[in-house]
Amino acid sequence: MSATELTWSDGHLWWLLLGSLGVLALVLLHMRLRSQLISRLGQAAFIQRMTASTSVAKQWLKWALVVLGILLIATGALRPQHGTREAELKNRGIDIVLAVDLSKSMMVQDVAPNRLRAAATEIQKVLDSLPGGRVALVPFAGTAFTQCALTTDFSAISGYLSELRVEDMPVGGTRIGVALRHALDLFETKLTAEDEKDEDLEGLEQIEPSHYKAIILVTDGEDHDADALAAAQLAHSRNIRIYTIGIGSQNSGAPIPQISEDGTRVGWVANEKNQKVFSDLNVALLRDIADATSGVATVYGQDDVAGTITASLDTLEKQEYERQFQDLKEDRFQFVLIPAFLLLVLETLLTDRKRTTRRSLA
C-alpha cells in the first residue's frame, strides 16, 4: 500500500456512518408528521397566518447542516490517514519464548543423538533465520523456570541451549500447561521500581514490546496434567501464537533412560511393576495446542521444521512492520472535524424565521 493513498486506520467503525442516515430518516419522519398534523387542524387560512413567519426552506437547511455535521464526525472517527511523517523505523521484530522440554523422556535416543540435542539443533536453525526481535528461554519438566528473559542477544540464548541438561531439573515429569503459562508471564514482565534504580540498567534503551508474540514449544508431547489446552486458549486470547516442534517417534518402543547427576545413563526408568517405561511422540496433543492459537505443528524428521516455522514467523514480522508503519501515517481527521464543528455552530446561529421588511406608513 502506497503512503500517498488515503487509508482508514479505524475502518472497522464504518457502521458509524449509518448514524447520519438514521438522523436523516428521523428528520424526514418529523417533517412528514408535522405536515400531517397541520393538515388535520383545518382552517387553512388561520394556520397559514400562524406559520407565516416560519421558513420551511430554512428548517430544511438547518436539518441538512446537522445531518452533514454528523456525517463528517463519523468520517473523522474512522481516522482518515494520508502521507507519512518522518521517523526512524526500526525492525524490532517480534517477541518469542522458547519453551524446551527437559523431562527424562527427552533423553530417549529414537532420534540421533537424542531428543534434547536434536531439539537444540533445530532451535538454533530457527534462531539463525530470525532477522531481529527478542527471544527468551524457558526449560520445563514438572515445573518451569526462566533460563533467560527476553533479550536481543541471540548468542546468549545459543549458549544456554548448548548447556541444557535433563539432570538440572528439580522436578520430574512433564507439565506443558505450566510451561505455557510461565511463557505467557514473560511477555507481561516489565521493569520494577527497583530495576529502574539499578545503576547497571541506567541509560539503557528499553525496547518496546512487539504487538505480535509467539511461543515455540519443543517437546515429545508427553503431558502429565490436563492444563495444556486451557493454557493454549489463554495464549490465543492474548493474540499469542504457539508453534510446536514434536521430537521423537510414534510407537518407537524406546525406553526412557535413568540419568545420574553427572549426565551418564545408569539404567532405565521403570514403573511400579519394575517394567521399563517407553516414550512415544504425542502428535495429536501438539497439533491441538498449535491449532488453538492459529499456530503451526511440526514434527522433527518429518517436516522442514525450521523452514516452516520461519515462514510463519515472517508473516508476523511483516504484520509487526505494517503496524509500525501504520503508526507513522499522518492523521487527517481534523480536515473533516473542523468543518463539522463549523456546520453545527452555523446551525445553532441560523434561525428559521423569514426575513421581514418594514412597511412605510402612508
Residue pair 169/176 in contact (Cβ under 8 Å)? The answer is no
The DSSP bridge pattern shows strands 148-151 and 134-140 to be antiparallel
CA dihedral 66, 71, 74, 76 (to 10 degrees): -100
Domains along the sequence of the chain with CATH: 8-80+332-349 (no CATH), 95-191+205-325 (3.40.50.410)
Instruction: Count other C-beta atoms under 10 Å from residue 103's C-beta.
Output: 26
Q: Any idea what DSSP says for residue 362?
A: -
Cα–Cα distance between 291 and 171 in angstroms, integer? 29
pLDDT in tens, 191-228: 444 444 545 434 444 445 567 899 999 998 877 777 89
DSSP secondary structure code for residue 11 in this structure: G
Q: How many CA atoms lie within 13 A of 8 on its CB side?
A: 10
Q: Report the alpha-carbon distance of residue 315 to residue 321 in Å, rounded.
A: 10
Q: Any idea what the Cα angle at residue 147 is, between residues 141 and 149, rounded to 5°?
A: 125
Sign of CA dihedral 90, 93, 95, 96: negative
C-alpha dist (Å) from residue 340 to 25, 72, 73, 344, 346: 19, 6, 6, 6, 10
Give tens-digit pLDDT for 144-186. 999 999 988 999 999 999 999 888 887 877 899 999 999 999 9
Q: Partners of 216 in the beta sheet? A: 98, 243
Q: Strand pairing of 80-84 and 95-101? A: unpaired
Residues facing residue 246 across a β-bridge:
219, 299
Q: Are 121 and 162 in contact (CB under 8 A)?
A: no
3-7 long-range contacts, CB within 8 A, separation 24+: 3/83, 3/84, 3/329, 4/82, 4/83, 5/82, 6/80, 6/81, 6/82, 6/332, 7/80, 7/81, 7/82, 7/329
Decide if 231 contacts 177 (C-beta within 8 A): yes
Residue 355, SS3? coil
- pLDDT tens string, the chain, 362 residues long: the values are 444 577 777 778 888 888 778 888 888 887 788 777 766 665 555 566 656 666 777 778 888 888 888 888 888 888 787 765 554 445 557 889 999 999 888 888 888 888 899 999 999 999 998 877 889 999 999 899 999 999 889 999 999 999 998 888 878 778 999 999 999 999 875 544 444 454 543 444 444 556 789 999 999 887 777 789 999 999 999 989 999 999 988 776 666 666 666 556 655 665 566 666 667 788 999 999 999 999 999 999 889 999 999 988 888 876 665 555 555 566 777 888 888 888 888 888 877 776 655 544 43
- The answer to whether the Cα torsion of 16, 17, 19, 22 is positive or negative is negative
Of 113, 240, 224, 234, the C-alpha closest to 173 is 224
- Given a contact cutoff of 8 angstroms between Cβ atoms, the answer to whether 143 and 182 are in contact is no
Cell numbers found for residue 322: 505494517
Give the sheet arrangement for strand 329-331, strand by strand.
7-8, 80-84, 329-331
